[in-house]
Structure 1
Amino acid sequence: MNGEQNDGQVSDTYLDNIIKQLEISDGSQATSSVRSVFVRNDAGTFLRKLDERVKYYDNEIEKLCNFQYQSFVKSFHELLQVRKDTTSMKKELEKNNQMMQEAGQSLAKKTASLIKEYHRQSNIQQTIEALSQAFPVFETYRKLQECMEEKKLYPALKLLEQLETKHLVLVKEHRWSELIQHNIAKFRNQIRNESYNELKNFLENVATHADKIGKSAFAQAAARLDIDRRYYMLEEDRKKDQQQQQPEGSADLALINMNITETIDFSPIYKSLHINLFLNCKEEFSKHYQREKQKQAPVIMDVPPKMHESFDAFKKYLQRVTGFFIVEDHVMNTTEGLIDQRFYYELSERATQQLLAVLRRAVSTSYNPELMLDMKIVVVLFCAAIKESGFPVTPLLDVLMELRESYQQLLLAQWGQKFKEILRKDNYIQMVIEDETQYQLLLRQFPLRIEAAERLPYPRSLPYSESVPKVFLEIKDFAAVCAKFAKGLNVSKTEIDDMIRKPSNLLLTKTLKSALVDLTAAESESQLNFSQLVQICINTIHLENSMPYLEDYIVALVHGSTKQIGLRLQGASMLKDIRSLVEDRIHDKLNDKIDQCLDIGN
Structure 2
Amino acid sequence: MPPRRGPRYTQEDIERQLQQILFDPSSSSEGLEQLGPIIKQIHHERQQDAYLRTLQVVINAKNAEIERICSDTYQDVLPAIAALFAIQSYSNDLRDKVTTTLDISVFQVARASVERKRKLVQAKRALANLDEAIDNLQAGVRVLNTLTSIGGMIQQRKYWSALRSIDDIQYMPAGLPAQAPLYHHTLTCLPSLREQIKSAVLAQNTQWLLDIRNLTKYVGRLALGSMRARSNKWKVRRERDPLLQRAQVGSAAETVMYENHGHNVLESDELQVDFKPLYQSIHVYTALGSLDELRRWYRESRSGQSELILQASMQLSSFTDVVEGIIGFFIIESHVLRTTSNFRSPRDVEELWDTSMQRFASVVKTALEKETDAASFLHVKEVLLDFVIAAESYAYSTQSMHMLLQHLFEKYVTSLERRYGKRSEEIIQKDDLQPFTVKDAGKLEDALRSIWLAEHKRDALSRSAFPAHLPWSNSFPLCCASIRDFAHRSHQFIEGVPLRHHSVDELLGKSLDVLLKEHLATSFIHQLERTTQLPDLAQIIANLEHFEGACAELEHSLNVMREAQRGDTVRITAAPAFAEALTRARARLADVITSELDGFFELNSYEWTPAQKEEVPSIYLTKLVAWLSTAVDSLQLKGEDKEQLYQEAVAHIAHRLMEFLTDETIPMMNENGVTQISTDVGFLETVFDDLGHEDLNHSFAEIQSTITLALSDTVAEVLVPAARKWKHSHVDPKHLQVMLGKLSKYGATLRDPVQRARADRRRREAEQIGRMLSGEGS
Band the TM-score falls in, shorter-chain normalisation: 0.7 to 0.9
- 1: CA distance, partners of 2:513 / 2:214: 49
1:207 paired with 2:213, answer: yes
> Which secondary structure state, in structure 2, belongs to the residue aligned with residue 481 of structure 1?
helix
1:582 paired with 2:585, answer: yes
Query: Are the aligned partners of 1:483 and 1:557 in contact in 2 as well (CA < 8 Å)?
Result: no
Aligned residue among 274, 277, 284 for 1:268: 277
- 1: CA distance, partners of 2:129 / 2:323: 76
1:118 paired with 2:124, answer: yes
Aligned residue among 155, 158, 166 for 2:164: 158
> Which secondary structure state, in structure 1, belongs to the residue aligned with residue 371 of structure 2?
coil
What corresponds to 2:424 in structure 1? 419
Distance 1:586 1:393, change over 3 A: same
Aligned residue among 138, 146, 164 for 1:140: 146
Query: Which protein is richer in helix relative to its size?
Result: 1
- 2: CA distance, partners of 1:342 / 1:492: 28
Distance 1:498 1:226, change over 3 A: farther
1:478 paired with 2:483, answer: no
Query: Are the aligned partners of 2:140 and 2:182 in contact in 1 as well (CA < 8 Å)?
Result: no
Distance 1:75 1:195, change over 3 A: same
What corresponds to 2:539 in structure 1? 535
Distance 1:302 1:263, change over 3 A: farther
What corresponds to 2:343 in structure 1? 338
Q: Give runs of aligned pairs for residues 354-393 of structure 1, distance below 5 A.
A: 354-393=359-398
Which amino acid counterpart does residue 539 of structure 1 have in structure 2?
A: N
Identity %: 20
Distance 1:89 1:364, change over 3 A: same
> Which secondary structure state, in structure 1, belongs to the residue aligned with residue 473 of structure 2?
coil
Residue by residue, what CA displacement relative to the aligned partner does 1:31-84 show, whole Å, maximum 9, x if unpaired? Answer: xxxxxxxxxxxxxxxxxxxxxxxxxxxxxxxxxxx9899599788635522234
Unaligned runs of 5+ residues in structure 2 are: 1-69, 236-259, 606-778
Distance 1:520 1:500, change over 3 A: same
What corresponds to 2:88 in structure 1? 83
1:259 paired with 2:266, answer: yes
Shift of 1:273: 1.3
> Which secondary structure state, in structure 2, belongs to the residue aligned with residue 463 of structure 1?
strand
What corresponds to 2:495 in structure 1? 487
Distance 1:273 1:258, change over 3 A: same
What corresponds to 2:523 in structure 1? 515
What corresponds to 1:250 in structure 2? none
Shift of 1:88: 5.4
Which amino acid counterpart does residue 399 of structure 1 have in structure 2?
A: L
Query: Are the aligned partners of 2:452 and 2:480 in contact in 1 as well (CA < 8 Å)?
Result: no
TM-score, scaled relative to structure 1: 0.74
What corresponds to 1:52 in structure 2? none
Distance 1:451 1:599, change over 3 A: farther
What corresponds to 2:402 in structure 1? 397
- 2: CA distance, partners of 1:387 / 1:566: 29
Residue by residue, what CA displacement relative to the aligned partner does 1:100-132 show, whole Å, maximum 9, x if unpaired? Answer: 555555544544443344334433444455456
Residue by residue, what CA displacement relative to the aligned partner does 1:362-395 show, whole Å, maximum 9, x if unpaired? Answer: 1212122332232233333333323444544323
Q: Which has the higher contact order (CA 8 A, sep 6+)?
A: 1
- 1: CA distance, partners of 2:567 / 2:149: 81
Which has the larger displacement, 185-194 or 433-442? Answer: 433-442
Which has the larger displacement, 264-273 or 449-458? Answer: 449-458
Residue by residue, what CA displacement relative to the aligned partner does 1:513-571 show, whole Å, maximum 9, x if unpaired? Answer: 111111112xx3xx34110111111222333444454234313432349x999556334
Shift of 1:583: 0.7
Residue by residue, what CA displacement relative to the aligned partner does 1:496-524 show, whole Å, maximum 9, x if unpaired? Answer: 43343332233223321111111112xx3
Distance 1:260 1:366, change over 3 A: farther
Distance 1:338 1:186, change over 3 A: same
Aligned residue among 287, 301, 308 for 2:296: 287
Which amino acid counterpart does residue 159 of structure 1 have in structure 2?
A: S
Distance 1:507 1:131, change over 3 A: same
Shift of 1:228: 12
Report the RMSD for the aligned CA atoms in angstroms: 3.5
Residue by residue, what CA displacement relative to the aligned partner does 1:4-27 show, whole Å, maximum 9, x if unpaired? Answer: xxxxxxxxxxxxxxxxxxxxxxxx
- 1: CA distance, partners of 2:151 / 2:110: 59
Query: Are the aligned partners of 1:322 and 1:386 in contact in 2 as well (CA < 8 Å)?
Result: yes
Residue by residue, what CA displacement relative to the aligned partner does 1:305-346 show, whole Å, maximum 9, x if unpaired? Answer: xx32x42x0111122122222222322222223231332233
Distance 1:326 1:105, change over 3 A: same
1:559 paired with 2:553, answer: no
- 1: CA distance, partners of 2:409 / 2:458: 38
Aligned residue among 186, 208, 221 for 1:180: 186
